[in-house]
Amino acid sequence: MTEPELVRHAADIESIRGDARDLLAGLTDDRINWREAPERWSIAECLDHLRATGHAYLPTVDAAIADARSRGVTGRGPFRHGMLGNWFVRSMEPPVKTRFKAPATFRPASAHRVADLTDAFMGLQDAIIERLHRADGLHLARVRLTSPASRLVRLSLGQAFAVLAAHERRHVWQARQVKSAMARAR
């Protein structure tokens, strides 16, 4: 991978992978499914939501990459992305300032095993890294896609990768808040 923007996104994903590993280290199945309150998500639900969202984004990203390759939409950065998409990326970053209700298709399952959740989440990170490699050489600002979360949100491919990373940071941060609340509740 030679494009600096993609290298930065890959570093973000690797950092998130490490944060998730640290977060899950030493936790039992009961602990990852613990909720501070019935309306709050558990650690497992935070990570399962990321798995569901990531897997919804991947086919959209795949289609955008394939279309761009077939049309020869290549370029080298630095790229300039649109203001609305940039705002959307910033709105995903922790600490959470604006809450969004997760669409039904992105709502997490309620009970998980640590091993299964870890495998699924780490597999998603591998899949995102693979897409970053496949996007190398494309014009990350001219390749556009529609967010699977809302037809109203159009992003450049570079913004889509940035949203995936910011969204993951947001929910790993949220899961850390759950872990802190769990420690206080003991």
DSSP label of 156: E
CB 178 within 8 A of CB 34: yes
Give every residue of the chain whose pLDDT is below 70, as ranges: none
Q: How many CB atoms lie within 10 A of CB 71?
A: 10
Q: What is the pLDDT of residue 93?
A: 87
Q: What is the pLDDT of residue 71?
A: 97
Q: Which domains does the chain have, with CATH numbers?
A: 4-185 (1.20.120.450)
CB 58 within 8 A of CB 66: no
The model's pTM is: 0.93
How many whole angstroms separate alpha carbon 4 and alpha carbon 100? Answer: 30
